[in-house]
Chain A
Amino acid sequence: MSRDFWKAFARNRGAVVGLAILALVVLAAVFANLIYPQSPWDMAAMPFQPPLSDDALLGSDTLGRDIAAGIVHGARVSLLIGLSSTAVALLIGVTLGAIAGYHGGVVDDAIMRFTELFQTIPNFVLAVVLVAIFTPSIANITIAIAVVSWPPLARLARGEFMALRSREFVQAAITTGQGTGTIILRQILPNSLSPIIVSASLTVATAILLESSLSFLGLGDPNVMSWGYMIGAARTVIRQAWWMSFFPGIAILLTVLALNLVGEGLNDALNPKLARKGRA
């Protein structure tokens, strides 16, 4: 990791572009209050202003709110929910996967059947139900998204742990008297991280999509501006005012695309053996 890592990462040009886009989104989220100090919910212009009007760069919506301000502020929610729900999903998924993969046998069977329970229910439906039951707030949406996104991570971690636990260095750790916790955390986990990180970067992208879809359905946090909400609110006037849904849509598209590109780059850099050939 470090110089070699960056070299390998930079070799994938798409990943560098993705990282640049992602950096822009992060900057927008961080400096949202500086760029658009006013609340994105405030009326800033006449309603239905097309893009490039005097007081609204990307136009205004049905209530005269600035679309550009909404996008910049919406970036916060998208990133926040994307990252924190992935963090929670990682915590649940990797923990369960590690225990299942390391112990195998009955423990593995029990945990995997539990995981399958979640996998058989369609992701989005479950998320909708959870949010509907627990009232939409940022915390609840995050948890709902985490609950539906951990199973693939658990499966991945389980596979990695299963493959690594029979490796000789793990057995050597057992014979030198290390405890199970130490072996899982110090010996196996660091060796299984690369594919998990790659997969997590893609989970962030899915989480952002999920959050947008929930907001689109009106299940977003009513107190924060989000891209999904903007599209949802504009869908009735999509034929008269395309820009209201177009720009937030582009924001989602670019962010998710950037995350996927970065994920691919991470894959090339972290798993050099799996990197697709022919690029060198």
Chain B
Amino acid sequence: METGSDILLDVRDLTVALPQGAERPNAVENVNLRIARDEILCVVGESGSGKSMTAHAVMGLLPGPHVRVTGGEIAYRGRDILTMGGAEQRGLRGDRIAMIFQEPMTALNPLMRVGDQIEESLKAHSSMEQSYASKAARRARVVELLTDVGLPDPESLRRSYPFRLSGGQRQRVMIAMALALEPDILIADEPTTALDVTTQKQILGLIRTIQAERRMGVMFITHDFGVVAEIATNVAVMQHGRCVEAGPAAQVLNQPRHPYTRQLIAAVPHYIEHRGDFLKRGDALLTAEKVRKVFHLGGGLFRKGRELVAGDDISLTIHPGETLGVVGESGSGKSTLGRCIVGLNKTDGGRILFQGQDLAALSRNQFRPVRKDIQMIFQDPYASLNPRHKVADIIAQGPVAFGESRSKATARARELLRLVGLPESAADRYPHEFSGGQRQRISIARALALEPKLIIADEPVSALDVSVQRQVLDLLEDIRHRFGLAMLFITHDLRVAAQVCDTIAVMQRGKVVEMNTAREVFQNPQHAYTRTLLDAIPGKGWEIPEELRTGTAGLAGRGAVA
């Protein structure tokens, strides 16, 4: 913030009130932020920290009338936006301050051509920008913008509808739209969170280049310290609506002072050097051989639908006690593999041998006895627990289905709750009374209730905040050692895989392209795609400060309940 001469946006003592009855009186409390020309300010925090609210307050997007600014000011080049009239604010929005959103899939109007959507903002501000008064001029500008954000064949892309574009391409269109009028300030609200790592890397690169070229100030909201390390000039860390630490990126990343910042940085998943190699003993617990799965989309009685090959020749093995990480981008077939193993999907070819028995050949009824041995933990802790059942019933459902008496199963459920770090009293409550991390613990308890040999964990932590993510990972690690469980850990995040897995299988387009010990995959990747993935990990140039690495921090987090 030393470049004080050219301050573009100055947020002073901003307070945003929440409606009565909310969990805290203010969404944002006395927050001070400054964005100067040529700098990227990363606002970091977990969900509910008020980071998005701050951005929305700047853009006038607060969900009024209950949520409103009650104090402070937001000055754009020295003039308070909050005291401006409606028309003046609108003039500023999109023109001088532009925003890109998290979900590229929903941020574009599905019924409008991409080019027309970009043109719209040009049109809206054409009274000020005389150069865009004519249609031809706007057209030309749209093509220029689409070229600038690196989209191929802009002339024809201009006439496409959003559904034809991938997530990354849509995010580029969003950026083109934001850049349409050469704003001074770009506010990016988690713009890469919904994207795959390789796409994320491209978008981050794009934002950085554009910011440097046009000398903009960028406010970049994120929860990921890896991303911060990648692009930030300055960092502001938010917790419970307050800004707890702010400073230049190098200082906050390498010498964090506030305990919350330290906790967040310690929770960033990373490869653990000192993990011992896993020793394979005995026969494989599960062997997948050339598993193939094709989904038939659409179609009906008289016409044939489209075919989507989700799994094509997937082969891998898991030994008792081993944690195998299946890593890949969306659409690589990793979840499909997991679902085929637990029998939620039928395979279209290949064999899945579990203790010598081919699961793929079993009918639904024949499969039932195997369910005891293979359990699954789901991704979304908010969708995976039946909202109308008590926690005890949720955990006990498996044993009861297998003939255990209800009282015995419920007693066991209480034990399991304690095991996963929840109080026994949780048994009599409903899922909605718990936080995301606590729900995931309940999910884990449910999977353990049947005393399985293999657990399929499908992105079990990707819906959680980093610090909670860390605790759940620690719990999984603890449990698998205690019970000698084998685990198939499906994740899109290589850093998470590095932290918990013995072996890693990298998947691309329905195939396993590389499978090796975690150490080998990280230190000596063989396949080009693995190298691309490793290269795309955000913040790989940044080393987590020594004193915050695993071990100490991990143990500190274990006692607390998510």
Query: Of the 9-residue stretches B133-141, B250-258, B263-271, B395-403, which lies at the interface with chain A?
Result: B395-403
B532, CB-defined interface residue at 8 Å = no
The answer to whether A177 and B401 touch (CB under 8 A), given A109-B301, A168-B380, A172-B378, is yes
Q: For residue B371, which residue of chain A has the nearest CB?
A: A177
- In the bound complex, do residue A176 and residue B375 qualify as a contact, i.e. CB atoms below 8 Å apart? yes
Q: For residue B365, which residue of chain A has the nearest CB?
A: A179
The answer to whether A169 and B401 touch (CB under 8 A), given A175-B376, A177-B371, is no
- Kindly state the separation between the CA atoms of A190 and B387 in the bound complex, as whole angstroms: 9
- Kindly state the separation between the CA atoms of A191 and B376 in the bound complex, as whole angstroms: 22
- In the bound complex, do residue A190 and residue B388 qualify as a contact, i.e. CB atoms below 8 Å apart? yes
A174, CB-defined interface residue at 8 Å = yes
B-facing mask of A47-80, CB < 8 A → 1, else 0?
Answer: 0000000000000000000000000000000000
A187, CB-defined interface residue at 8 Å = yes
B343, CB-defined interface residue at 8 Å = yes
* Contact of B383 (CB < 8 Å), options: A167, A173, A175, A182: A167
- Kindly state the separation between the CA atoms of A251 and B386 in the bound complex, as whole angstroms: 43
Residues in A with CB closer than 8 Å to B397 are 173, 176, 178
Q: For residue A167, which residue of chain B has the nearest CB?
A: B383
B-facing mask of A169-199, CB < 8 A → 1, else 0?
Answer: 1011111111100100011001100000000
Residues in B with CB closer than 8 Å to A190 are 386, 388
- In the bound complex, do residue A175 and residue B301 qualify as a contact, i.e. CB atoms below 8 Å apart? no
B342, CB-defined interface residue at 8 Å = yes
- In the bound complex, do residue A177 and residue B384 qualify as a contact, i.e. CB atoms below 8 Å apart? no
- In the bound complex, do residue B446 and residue A172 qualify as a contact, i.e. CB atoms below 8 Å apart? yes
Residues in A with CB closer than 8 Å to B398 are 176-178
- In the bound complex, do residue B402 and residue A169 qualify as a contact, i.e. CB atoms below 8 Å apart? no
Give the total number of A-B pairs whose CB atoms are below 8 A apart: 60
- In the bound complex, do residue B386 and residue A169 qualify as a contact, i.e. CB atoms below 8 Å apart? yes
The distance from the CB of B304 to the nearest CB of chain A, in whole angstroms, is 15
A-facing mask of B372-394, CB < 8 A → 1, else 0?
Answer: 10111011100111111100000
- Kindly state the separation between the CA atoms of A153 and B10 in the bound complex, as whole angstroms: 57
* Contact of A168 (CB < 8 Å), options: B343, B374, B378: B378
- Kindly state the separation between the CA atoms of A98 and B5 in the bound complex, as whole angstroms: 67
B344, CB-defined interface residue at 8 Å = yes
The distance from the CB of B85 to the nearest CB of chain A, in whole angstroms, is 26
Q: For residue B399, which residue of chain A has the nearest CB?
A: A176
- In the bound complex, do residue B371 and residue A172 qualify as a contact, i.e. CB atoms below 8 Å apart? no
The distance from the CB of B403 to the nearest CB of chain A, in whole angstroms, is 10
B368, CB-defined interface residue at 8 Å = yes
- Kindly state the separation between the CA atoms of A179 and B375 in the bound complex, as whole angstroms: 16
The distance from the CB of A73 to the nearest CB of chain B, in whole angstroms, is 41
The distance from the CB of B124 to the nearest CB of chain A, in whole angstroms, is 27
The distance from the CB of B323 to the nearest CB of chain A, in whole angstroms, is 19
B-facing mask of A99-122, CB < 8 A → 1, else 0?
Answer: 000000000010000000000000
The distance from the CB of A139 to the nearest CB of chain B, in whole angstroms, is 35
- In the bound complex, do residue B386 and residue A182 qualify as a contact, i.e. CB atoms below 8 Å apart? no
- In the bound complex, do residue B387 and residue A175 qualify as a contact, i.e. CB atoms below 8 Å apart? no
The distance from the CB of B263 to the nearest CB of chain A, in whole angstroms, is 29
- In the bound complex, do residue A175 and residue B388 qualify as a contact, i.e. CB atoms below 8 Å apart? no
- In the bound complex, do residue A174 and residue B344 qualify as a contact, i.e. CB atoms below 8 Å apart? yes
The distance from the CB of B379 to the nearest CB of chain A, in whole angstroms, is 7
- Kindly state the separation between the CA atoms of A174 and B374 in the bound complex, as whole angstroms: 12
- Kindly state the separation between the CA atoms of A167 and B174 in the bound complex, as whole angstroms: 31
The answer to whether A168 and B384 touch (CB under 8 A), given A176-B401, A177-B371, is yes
- In the bound complex, do residue A175 and residue B344 qualify as a contact, i.e. CB atoms below 8 Å apart? yes
The distance from the CB of B393 to the nearest CB of chain A, in whole angstroms, is 9
- Kindly state the separation between the CA atoms of A141 and B379 in the bound complex, as whole angstroms: 51
B57, CB-defined interface residue at 8 Å = no
Q: For residue A169, which residue of chain B has the nearest CB?
A: B386
- In the bound complex, do residue A191 and residue B378 qualify as a contact, i.e. CB atoms below 8 Å apart? no
- 9 other A-B residue contacts (CB within 8 Å) besides A168-B380, A174-B343, A178-B397: A169-B383, A169-B384, A171-B384, A172-B384, A176-B446, A177-B368, A186-B389, A187-B386, A190-B386
Q: List 28 A-B contacts (CB under 8 A).
A: A109-B301, A167-B383, A168-B378, A168-B379, A169-B385, A171-B344, A171-B384, A172-B443, A172-B446, A173-B386, A173-B397, A174-B343, A174-B344, A175-B344, A175-B371, A175-B374, A175-B375, A175-B376, A176-B371, A176-B397, A176-B446, A176-B450, A177-B368, A177-B398, A177-B402, A187-B386, A190-B388, A191-B388
- Which 3 pairs show the lowest CB-CB distances between chains A and B? A176-B398, A168-B384, A177-B371
User: What is the interface of chain B, defined by CB distance below 8 A to chain A?
Assistant: 301, 342-344, 368, 371-372, 374-376, 378-380, 383-389, 397-398, 401-402, 443, 446, 449-450
